[in-house]
Structure 1
Amino acid sequence: MTDRLPATLDIAIIGAGAAGIAAARAVAGQPLTVAVLEARDRIGGRAHTVGFDGVGLDMGAGWLHSADENLLAARAAAEGFTVDRTPPPWERQAFDHEMSRAEQVEFRTAFAAFEDRVAEAAANGEEGPASSLFEAGNRWNPRIDAISGALNGARFDQVSIRDYDAYRDTGINWRVAEGYGRFVTHLGERLPILTACPVTRIDRSGPALKLHTPRGVVEARAVIVTVPTDLIAREHLRFDPPLPSLVEAAAGLPLGLASKLHMTVAGHQDFSPDSQLWGRTDTADTAGYHLRPFGRPMIEAWFGGDIARQLEAEGQSAFHAFATDELVNLLGSDMRRRLAPVVGSMWGADPWSSGAYSHALPGQAGDRARLKAPVENRIFIAGEATAEAVYGTVHGAWMEGERAAREALAALGLDAGPAPGDEEA
């Protein structure tokens, strides 16, 4: 960490989330002056862990997706963190209150058929809202849309067919017991990061890029931008002269909203560890409930898409009221006295994120590639939104930060070395 804003830099990195930290680590050791400028008073971005009763609660990213291929899974263990391989809760419905076992099979069949239709449409070059591939009148369409709220932070009518199909996942999902956010923060320790230093404008009119911040102006030969897409689309980070193509690409990849509420639950022995319930099957405006994560006496509620935005607009207490009503309906009136809120996320209200993770709007599947294209060979964009096959993930953001770092080093005439996995190429 650092407290002083340099006057000049070889590489300025904007944002100290996973992509920014990865980029900073990738250029460390080079004969360059480098600094990471972070708007928040902390690092980690949307990977953020808060402490409670001796444990870490992840407010944003929580899963090592595709863990058998995820480069951060092996690194977490090597850095002394506990990688928990307990199967994810969506593989174990608690009780049979929500859906009977026969209905669970019926839903899984309907969802698989929907994804098959998406894959076939994408293979045929079709594009449009993924919801156009719902089976008319299928009783499970609302539940499929609720799942989209968790996967995309938006309903399927706001999700591109081709972009949704482009996502790849091995189905192996692990967690960091101490907290994914703590792990990402750990990886950022001892890096030259200046917090509480938002960049509001990049002046690219001269031979050096000029980054304007409340602490002053810093000149840089190259800039790696790792802020969320909404900050570019809404021009909270402004380019001068403007870059309309970049802004348009970012606007095609808005951040959906996924919100969490951590609650304690009395009499937790009544619930199977790491199991799940959903509130309703007849509407997408429902929440998912992770019962006893890591075996703890807690419930982690998950709200995605429209319902997350509605509740966030009403204030954090609305999440607890909604969750309580759903769990009372599922499990009985005594749940009202057994639940107590601990902490919740408000990513949509966070001025430095405005949401959780990106989805491509219908017709905008190509915007991930547009967004990551270097500008003048000195401005490089990276983050989960530019990870075309693993968007919305921490490891996707990490790999994109490393990619942008290699491009920046090459632009400055330095050998970036092979990309990870290409050493034998």
Structure 2
Amino acid sequence: MSSLPSAVDVAIIGAGAAGLGAAHALKDSGLSIVVLEARDRVGGRAYTIQAAPDVVFDVGCGWLHSADQNSFVGIAEQLKFEVNRELPPWGQRAYGDAFPQADRDAFTLALDEFYDRIEEAAQQGKDVPANIYLEPGNRWNPMIDAISTYVNGCELDRVSILDVDAYEDTNINWRVRRGYGALIAAYGAQVPVALNCAVRLIDHAGKRVRIETSRGTLDAGRVIVTVPTNLIADEAIRFSPALPGKVEAARGLPLGLADKVTLALDDAEALPKEGNLRGATMRTEMGTYHIRPFGQPCIEGFFGGRLAQTLEDAGDGAFAAYSIDEIVSFLGNDFRRKLKPLSESRWSHDPFARGSYSHALPGHADKRAVLAAPVDGRLFFAGEATSPHFFSTAHGARDSGERAAREVLAKSAE
């Protein structure tokens, strides 16, 4: 949008999956809407780039998790985006000798038993840190903790067992050949979005809500807030009157950190397509690697938790350097000359994300419902952190936006 409207029925803050889901649900309602987005693009933490002429890279989310229940699958089909239904590389397509099959089997058993203990403990209703349920002395504990850094964006000592138990995963994971971020950007092209429009203040003291942005001020009858929890927790967007309950809820649902890197691979035929590479490192600080996704001449690396934060803080190129060293340790020094950095994410340093996806701190699993609750019939909240069971996912975010839109429509009908 080249100009900002002075007034709308509904203002939606954030053009990530949640904001776009809300906008789509309202676009034919007869209400005037606008999506206010601080970035110069839509998609939020979904972002696809052309990292090289022959490499498409999802800098953010890349997998259609719980694909049999994922609302973006149908959207992909409507928008003519090819969905790849092949098995994901983890678990099925191990490559190399760094993690022998017998060790993988032992690790998988230990991981499954850990989650069984979590599930049993969660039935008691007491919320404690998940690391309590690691088996004392189990040699796989550091790597189980590494899995948490990928899944939750943090180590197990910062994760609520009730939150772990609440998450639903059908274990069906598909991909979008042109990129998940590209799909969500195409989805966003169908609704009115004002880019480069950072919201600073939401003043809900009067009959209508006044919104101060970097592009001027507008007022709205109702507002749907879909920004990441860290922005609410840090009060990067202020509410007047203040909403201490929302700020407290957001602080109980911080964004963990998961980052990615992609490396160009010369002599790509030397490695199989869609392989998974990681070592039985017996440490939490480790990467996991996807060899030649979609057959592309590259390797993607994935990092989470404190290691990801350390590498982000080390500056541009740190993920690539760490990845190359680790891959070479698995495959031999000849591979060093075959690998070249292409692109990497640094989500905690992104001012409009400040992290990757939410987890509930121990004792705070109930804060998802608190964050999702409307205020005064005029302020509504969405985003992956408000999803009761599909948090940390793009489809959970989109569906929460649709839920907030229904709440708006119900209020408008009164």
TM-score w.r.t. the length of structure 1 is 0.95
The CA distance in 1 between the partners of 2:25 and 2:155, in whole Å, is 36
Task: Give the stretch that moved more between structures: 356-365 or 93-102.
Answer: 93-102
The answer for unaligned runs of 5 or more in structure 2 is none
Counterpart Cα distance in 2 of 1:154 and 1:319: 17
Deviation at 1:216, TM superposition (A): 1.4
Provide the rounded CA distance (Å) in 2 between the counterparts of 1:72 and 1:5.
Answer: 29
CA distance in 2, matches of 1:257, 1:121: 26
Q: How far apart in 1 are the matches of 2:94 and 2:130?
A: 29
| Residue matched to 2:252 | 252
Which residue does the alignment assign to 2:317? 317
Q: Deviations over 1:62-116 (max 9, x none)?
A: 0011111212112212311110111111023433422221111100000000000
Structure 1 CA distance for aligned equivalents of residues 69 and 413 of structure 2: 31
Instruction: State the AA in 1 paired with 2:36.
Output: L
Q: Give the deviation of 1:280 after TM superposition.
A: 4.8
1:357-372 equivalent positions in 2, closer than 5 A: 357-372=357-372
The within-5 A match list for 1:227-266 is: 227-266=227-266
Unaligned runs of 5+ in 1: 415-425
The aligned residue for residue 119 of structure 1 is 119
- 1:58 corresponds in structure 2 to 58
Aligned to 1:190, what secondary structure does the other structure show?
Answer: coil
Query: Partner residue of 1:382?
Result: 382
Q: Does 1:4 align with 2:3?
A: yes
Deviation at 1:413, TM superposition (A): 1.7
Structure 1, residues 136-176: CA drift from partner, whole Å, max 9, x if none? 11110110011111101000111100001110111110000
Q: 1:16 matched to which residue of 2?
A: 15
Give the 4+ runs in structure 1 shifted more than 6 A.
Answer: none
Cα distance in structure 2, aligned partners of 1:300 and 1:271? 13
> Could you tell me which amino acid in structure 2 is paired with residue 276 of structure 1?
N
1:207 counterpart residue number: 207
Conserved? CA contact 1:114–1:134, under 8 Å: yes
What is the alpha-carbon distance in structure 2 between the residues aligned to residue 33 and residue 109 of structure 1?
A: 54
- Distance in 1, matches of 2:261 and 2:49, equals 12
* 1:25 equivalenced with 2:16 (yes/no): no
2:85 is matched with 85
Q: Are the aligned partners of 1:140 and 1:281 in contact in 2 as well (CA < 8 Å)?
A: no
**Percent of pairs identical after alignment?**
49
Q: Deviations over 1:222-245 (max 9, x none)?
A: 000010000000000110111000
Distance 1:181 1:93 in 2: 25
Q: CA deviation at 1:279?
A: 4.3
What amino acid sits opposite 2:240 in the alignment? D
Q: Is structure 2 residue 74 aligned with structure 1 residue 95?
A: no
- State the alpha-carbon separation in 1 of the partners of residues 198 and 17 from structure 2: 17
SS at match of 2:178: coil
User: Do structure 1's residue 170 and structure 2's residue 192 form an aligned pair?
Assistant: no
Corresponding letter in the other structure for 1:65: H
Q: Distance in 2 between matches of 1:395 and 1:406?
A: 17
Are 2:127 and 2:162, in contact at CA under 8 Å, matched by a contact in 1? yes
Per-residue CA distance 1:216-271 (angstroms, 9 max, x = gap): 11111100001000000000011011100000000000000110001111222222
- Contact 2:288/2:303 (CA < 8 Å) preserved in 1? yes
- SS of 2:199's equivalent in the other structure is coil
- Which AA in structure 1 matches 2:181? G
State the alpha-carbon separation in 1 of the partners of residues 29 and 106 from structure 2: 56
Q: Secondary structure at the match of 2:11?
A: strand
Q: How much does 1:126 deviate?
A: 2.4
Q: Is the 8 A contact 1:91 1:275 kept in 2?
A: no
1:38 aligns with 2:37: yes
Letter in 1 for 2:339: L
3-state DSSP of counterpart to 2:68: coil
Number of aligned residue pairs: give it. 413
What residue identity is the alignment partner of 2:175? R
Counterpart of 2:337?
A: 337
Cα distance in 2 between the residues matched to 1:336 and 1:81: 35
CA-based RMSD: 1.1
